[in-house]
Structure 1
Amino acid sequence: MDRKARPGVVRRVFSAVWRAIDRFRQLSLNLLFLAVVAFLVAGWLAARPTPLPAEAALLIAPNGQLVEQRSVRNPLSVLQGGDGIHQVLLRDVVDAIRAAAGDARIKALVIETDSLAGAGLSKLQEIAAAVADFRKAGKKVYVHGKNFNQVQYHLAAQADEVFVSPDGYVFLSGFARYPTYFKGLFDQAGVKMQIFRVGTYKSFVEPYTRSDMSPEDREATRDYLDAAWRTYQADIAAARPKAAAGLARYVSEAPALLAEAGGDTARMALKAGLVDGLKTADEWRDFLKERVGASDDARGYKHVDMATYISRVRDETPQASDHIGIVVAQGAIVDGEQPSGVVGGDTVAGLIRQAREDKSIKAVVLRVDSPGGSATASEVIRRELELTRKAGKPVIVSMGSVAASGGYWISMAADEVWAGPATLTGSIGIFAMVPDLSGPMGKLGLAVDGVGTSALASGLDPRRPLDPQVASVLQQSIEFGYKRFIELVGKNRRMDVAAVDQVAQGRVWLGSQAKEKGLVDKLGGLDEAVKAAATRAGLKDYDVSYVEKPLSPRDQLLAKLLDNGEDTEGAKTRLSPVEATLARIRNELAGLALWNDPGATYLHCLCEAP
Structure 2
Amino acid sequence: MKQFALTIAGVFVGLLLFIIGIPVLLIASAAGSSKPAVPAQAVLELDLRGGLTDQAPTNPFAGFGGSGLSVMRVVDVLAQAQDDDRIKVVLVRLPESGMTPASADELRQAIQRFRASGKPVIAHSQGLMPLGAVVSTYMLGASASEFWMQENASFQATGLASEEIFFGRAFERYGITADFEQRYEYKNAVNTFTQSGFTESHREAAEGWMTSIYESALANAASDRSMELDALRTAFESGPHTPAEAEALGLIDNTGGVHEAEAEARRLAGDNGRIIRFSEYSNAVGERTGSGRNAIAIVGGEGAILTGRSSADPFGAGSMMSSDDIAAAIYDAIENDSVRAIVFRVSSPGGSPEGSEQILDAVRAAKAAGKPVVVSMGAYAASGGYWISSEASAIVAQPSTLTGSIGVFGGKFVLDEALGRFGVDISGLTVGGEYADAFTTERPFNQAERAAFSGWMDQVYEDFVTRVSTGRNLPAARVREIARGRVWTGAQARQLGLVDEVGGIHEAIQRAKALAEIPADESVRFRRYPRPLSTWEALGEAFGSSSEAAETLVRVGAVMDDPDVQAVMARARAERMRSQGAVVMADQPLR
Smaller-chain TM-score range?
Answer: 0.7 to 0.9
Q: Which residue of 2 aligns with 1:489?
A: 468
Q: Which residue of 2 aligns with 1:520?
A: 499
Are residue 530 (structure 1) and residue 509 (structure 2) matched? yes
1:216-270 residue CA offsets vs partner (Å, 9 max, x unmatched): 1101111111121111100110111247453322343326xx5xxxxxx111211
Q: Which residue of 2 aligns with 1:355?
A: 333
1:360-371 matches, within 5 Å, as 360-371=338-349
- Long gaps (5+) in structure 2: 1-29, 312-317, 541-580
SS of the residue aligned with 1:397?
Answer: strand
1:254-304 residue CA offsets vs partner (Å, 9 max, x unmatched): 26xx5xxxxxx1112111112212113343343234322354xxxxx4233
Alpha-carbon distance between aligned partners in 2 of 1:316 and 1:467, rounded to the nearest angstrom:
57
1:234-253 matches, within 5 Å, as 234-242=219-227, 244-253=229-238
Q: Which residue of 2 aligns with 1:270?
A: 247
Q: Which residue of 2 aligns with 1:392?
A: 370
Are residue 86 (structure 1) and residue 71 (structure 2) matched? no
Alpha-carbon distance between aligned partners in 2 of 1:232 and 1:479, rounded to the nearest angstrom:
37
Q: Which residue of 2 aligns with 1:67?
A: 53
What's the offset of the Cα at 1:51? 4.5
Q: Which residue of 2 aligns with 1:410?
A: 388
Alpha-carbon distance between aligned partners in 2 of 1:316 and 1:123, rounded to the nearest angstrom:
20
Asked if the contact 2:381/2:401 (under 8 Å) is kept, the reply is yes
Q: Which residue of 2 aligns with 1:293?
A: 270
1:377-388 matches, within 5 Å, as 377-388=355-366
Q: Which residue of 2 aligns with 1:429?
A: 407
Alpha-carbon distance between aligned partners in 1 of 2:478 and 2:378, rounded to the nearest angstrom:
25
Identify the range of structure 1 (313-322 vs 163-172) with the bigger mean alpha-carbon deviation: 313-322
What's the offset of the Cα at 1:343? 1.4
Match of 1:546 among 521, 525, 528: 528
SS of the residue aligned with 1:246?
Answer: helix
Residue identity matched to 2:299 = V
> CA 1:289–1:522 in structure 2 vs 1: closer, same or farther (change >3 Å)?
closer
Match of 2:295 among 323, 338, 347: 323
Q: Which residue of 1 aligns with 2:78?
A: 97
SS of the residue aligned with 1:204?
Answer: helix
Asked if the contact 2:60/2:535 (under 8 Å) is kept, the reply is no
Alpha-carbon distance between aligned partners in 2 of 1:495 and 1:130, rounded to the nearest angstrom:
33
Alpha-carbon distance between aligned partners in 2 of 1:538 and 1:422, rounded to the nearest angstrom:
29
Q: Which residue of 2 aligns with 1:572?
A: none
Provide TM-score, normalisation by structure 2. 0.79
Alpha-carbon distance between aligned partners in 1 of 2:57 and 2:97, rounded to the nearest angstrom:
16
SS of the residue aligned with 1:535?
Answer: helix
1:125-524 matches, within 5 Å, as 125-149=105-129, 150=134, 151-242=136-227, 244-254=229-239, 258=241, 265-295=242-272, 301-314=273-286, 320=292, 322-339=294-311, 341-443=319-421, 444-450=423-429, 452-524=431-503
> CA 1:182–1:198 in structure 2 vs 1: closer, same or farther (change >3 Å)?
same
Alpha-carbon distance between aligned partners in 2 of 1:445 and 1:422, rounded to the nearest angstrom:
47
> CA 1:311–1:438 in structure 2 vs 1: closer, same or farther (change >3 Å)?
same
What's the offset of the Cα at 1:549? 5.0
Asked if the contact 1:153/1:170 (under 8 Å) is kept, the reply is no
What's the offset of the Cα at 1:408? 0.7
What's the offset of the Cα at 1:356? 2.0
Structural RMSD (CA): 3.1
Residue identity matched to 2:53 = V
Identity, % of aligned pairs? 29
What's the offset of the Cα at 1:553? 3.6
Alpha-carbon distance between aligned partners in 2 of 1:203 and 1:195, rounded to the nearest angstrom:
11
Residue identity matched to 1:511 = G
Asked if the contact 1:202/1:430 (under 8 Å) is kept, the reply is yes
SS of the residue aligned with 1:386?
Answer: helix
Residue identity matched to 1:330 = E
Asked if the contact 2:168/2:196 (under 8 Å) is kept, the reply is yes
> CA 1:312–1:281 in structure 2 vs 1: closer, same or farther (change >3 Å)?
closer
1:78-133 residue CA offsets vs partner (Å, 9 max, x unmatched): 9xxxx95534111221122222222222222222225x765322221222122222
Asked if the contact 1:122/1:422 (under 8 Å) is kept, the reply is yes
Alpha-carbon distance between aligned partners in 2 of 1:73 and 1:219, rounded to the nearest angstrom:
39
1:488-519 residue CA offsets vs partner (Å, 9 max, x unmatched): 21111111111111111111111111111111
Residue identity matched to 1:191 = I
Identify the range of structure 1 (140-149 vs 313-322) with the bigger mean alpha-carbon deviation: 313-322
1:166-185 residue CA offsets vs partner (Å, 9 max, x unmatched): 11122313222211212233
Q: Which residue of 1 aligns with 2:87?
A: 106
1:430-470 residue CA offsets vs partner (Å, 9 max, x unmatched): 12122222223433342415454432232423344433222
What's the offset of the Cα at 1:603? 0.9
Asked if the contact 2:325/2:530 (under 8 Å) is kept, the reply is no
- Long gaps (5+) in structure 1: 1-43, 259-264, 296-300, 559-599
> CA 1:506–1:315 in structure 2 vs 1: closer, same or farther (change >3 Å)?
closer
Asked if the contact 2:36/2:281 (under 8 Å) is kept, the reply is no
Q: Which residue of 1 aligns with 2:13?
A: none
Alpha-carbon distance between aligned partners in 2 of 1:303 and 1:74, rounded to the nearest angstrom:
27
Residue identity matched to 2:282 = I
